[in-house]
Amino acid sequence: MEQLGEKVYCFSCNQKTNHNIIHTYEEMYDESDDMFWNAKYHITKCAGCDRVTFVEEYADEHTWEYINGHREWKAIFKPFPEEPINKSAIDRFEERLNLDKRTFPHMPKILYDLYKQIIDSYNMRHNVLCASGLRTLIEGVCKELKVKKGHVYRDDGTIEIEEKTGKEMYNSTLPARIFGLYEKGYIIFPQALILNKIKEIGNKAVHSIVSPDTMDLREVIQVMEQILYVIYELKAHKLLKKKEEEKTQEEIQKK
């Protein structure tokens, strides 16, 4: 029985092995083609374990290499299913950095769609797009909650004072609107500080095309997810619903 001209991967043996050819179907170039090519499609059987595999053997004008100083045609052998990719330790580490999308059923669809695009951008390591998306998401949350203004706070919790007027800073800038979320009770003060840090990362990505570090971006996204949960999901938690139901039952019993 004729053997393939090259060892190919066997899934049963988990390595490249010799394969015997059971049947072959061949196609090749004709006068209408621009270049020489030849394709053979083999049904093969592993010489070690007898597993049957389909193998394509292909060659054309570009499939050659130098051997001992001479150019020789060399066919390409491709088994189906294909040989699994042997991922490096770096590739495996990169995969572990990826994030799954969280569900936010009470979040407006347009904002949730943006959140999903942010996760996709991060997983593809499009860090500039991801960071700018986070900034847009923060602005979208402020707009959706109709938070148009707010005071501007220092990190110690005191309000910034305008030098010219001596009055407390109160305006419609994005930092002020973020603190407006805090003033309206949607988030706590440390979360407002963090959102402003995320906004700064987004600003650098948008205006200076600065790509943030992947690990830093991963932590930023996880913090952002916690804040989104607090804003949109915590108020609908089943324990709160249970408390409301108990309160309603007590009122009914009193009547």
**C-beta neighbour count of 95 within 10 angstroms:** 10
Distance CA 69, CA 208 (A): 52
Residues 147 and 175: beta-carbon distance below 8 Å = no
- Domain assignment present for residue 179? The answer is yes
- Domain assignment present for residue 255? The answer is no
- Domain assignment present for residue 242? The answer is no
Number of domains in the chain: 2
- Domain assignment present for residue 246? The answer is no
Residue ending a domain, choose from 80, 113, 136? 80
Residue ending a domain, choose from 24, 56, 80? 80
| 162 and 49 assigned to the same domain | no
> Any idea which residue has 């991963």 for tokens?
218
The pLDDT tens digits along the chain (255 residues) read: 788 889 999 988 888 999 999 999 999 888 777 778 889 999 999 999 999 999 999 988 777 776 776 777 788 899 988 887 766 766 777 788 899 999 999 999 999 999 999 999 999 999 999 999 999 999 999 999 999 999 999 999 999 999 889 999 999 999 999 999 999 999 999 999 999 999 999 999 988 888 999 999 999 999 999 999 999 998 877 777 665 555 656 665 665
Q: Which of 53, 42, 55, 40 is nearest to 13 (CA)?
A: 53
Q: Which residues are CB-contacts of 156 (< 8 A; sequence separation ≥ 6)?
A: none
Distance CA 76, CA 5 (A): 10
| pTM of the shown model | 0.62
Distance CA 195, CA 229 (A): 14
- Domain assignment present for residue 100? The answer is yes
| 66 and 161 assigned to the same domain | no
| 52 and 174 assigned to the same domain | no
Q: Which of 177, 132, 190, 124 is nearest to 150 (CA)?
A: 177
> Any idea which residue has 């949730």 for tokens?
112
| 96 and 204 assigned to the same domain | yes
- Domain assignment present for residue 241? The answer is no
Residues 192 and 159: beta-carbon distance below 8 Å = no
| 114 and 218 assigned to the same domain | yes
| 117 and 176 assigned to the same domain | yes
Residue 210: which H helix or E strand, with range?
none
Domain containing residue 42: 8-80
- Domain assignment present for residue 244? The answer is no
| 74 and 153 assigned to the same domain | no
Kindly report the three-state secondary structure assignment for every residue of the chain.
Answer: CCECCCCEEECCCCEEECEEEEEEEEEECCCCCCCCEEEEEEEEEECCCCCEEEEEEEEECCCEEEECCEEEECCEEEEECCCCCCCCHHHHHHHHHCCCCCCCCCCCHHHHHHHHHHHHHHHCCCHHHHHHHHHHHHHHHHHHCCCCCEECECCCCCECECCCCCCECEECCHHHHHHHHHHCCCCCHHHHHHHHHHHHHHHHHHHHCCCCCHHHHHHHHHHHHHHHHHHHHHHHCHHHHHHHHHHHHHHHHHC
